[in-house]
Structure 1
Amino acid sequence: MSVLSPYRVVGSHDFAQNSSSISQQGTETGSLPFNSILDFVSEVYLKEPELLLGNDALWTFVNFAGEDHTNFQTLVAFLNMLSTLASSHEGASKVHELLQGKAFRSIGWSTLFECLTIYDEKFKQSLQTAGAMLPEIQEGDAKALVAYLNVLKKVVENGNPIERKNWFPDIEPLFKLLSYENVPPYLKGALRNAIATFIHVSPVLKDSIWTFLEQYDLPVVVGPEAQGSPSMGTQ
């Protein structure tokens, strides 16, 4: 997986097949202090969200912390921090802007949507090859995608109701992996949760969700409390 390859599990065949166990252990251990800092920042702003207001120093740190991740553990910790920071109108707008622009070389909304599309294309190619088995999604990729999707969900949930209507005009990539049996259930769950968040953003996006559910032949459950809103059942 070329898009998220720097963030795969240390020790996987294609990411570190030539690395010794000592160097692998060192890489994992080296990421722990940085992850702890990111977790600490998340805890602080989860308990004191009002500290986000006008906090330029925080966003300077976020810009610094988002650069040059060499494994998926630090990437996931960084994205988890962004999820926490996106728990308010101001935070959601800031996080959306960061991931929409070019603040980071390898982290952004485009990375999320491109990765989903590339895996879909990869699976389609396998299905067209007689006797070929569907390739597995690398654990690092799957966990990074879940972390991205959690950020997406928070940003859409807490974004300004007027501004967020135009933030994600094309959400089709979120549907592309839901029909494949080899996609981990926890990743499918994160995809469904992210999709469900868009239902109340605008009538246009709600209609798009129905269209894509039909297009990809995905099961839908509509309960009496849903008031016409689609809910994707498990597969």
Structure 2
Amino acid sequence: MTSDLSLYLVTDSGLAAAAGHDLVELVRAAAADGVTAVQLREKEATARGFLDTVLRVSEAIPDRVALIVNDRVDVFLAARAAGARITGVHVGQSDLPPEAVRGLIGSDAVLGLSASTPEQLAAASDSGVVDYVGIGALHATATKRDAPPPLGHEEFARLVALSALPAVAIGGVHAADLGALRRAGAAGAAVVSAICAAADPGRAARELRTAWDAA
């Protein structure tokens, strides 16, 4: 896997709308100002609506920014068949097994997996098909209803040290966390509300980028 996951935006269209933002324009601004990867997470969208969002975001962001679909392997496959520039899929512990996902998306796509325990990290590595793990939740978060209990920085650092795969922190992550996360060995930090709920998403992305780079 060669994708830069250092500043990883996970979208929440509800938060974006509440802050007065069009989701595609928000992603475009964030990608222009330091975000290196975007995961489109649309839990409430129809398959067709989700696909439309993927296609529009794919056209809106530069090639250097990875574009990941959350959970929906069918939407990833449909977007790729439509000619979209799309990087991969991120799945959770209750979604299709990583081996099955890899068989569907092929060897060239990036595959991420959520993990929150040593056992889940070991299984991700042993699978031989997962490219990176998302470890969380770092803090309590309201953006994911089924998020595991918050880990805190000390437990996150312990889990990163156990992971044989690149690890991205997620769950209530803000700029003040980035220094500690990078020092702990994280390959990146995934943010949701820090950008989606910001008054100025581009400025928020720049501040997060500065905090990560300065760590």
Q: Write 1 or 2 for the structure with the bigger share of helix.
A: 1
TM-score interval, smaller chain: under 0.3
Q: Which structure would you say has the larger RCO, counting Cα contacts within 8 Å and 6 or more residues apart?
A: 2
Q: TM-score, normalised by structure 2?
A: 0.28
Q: TM-score, normalised by structure 1?
A: 0.26
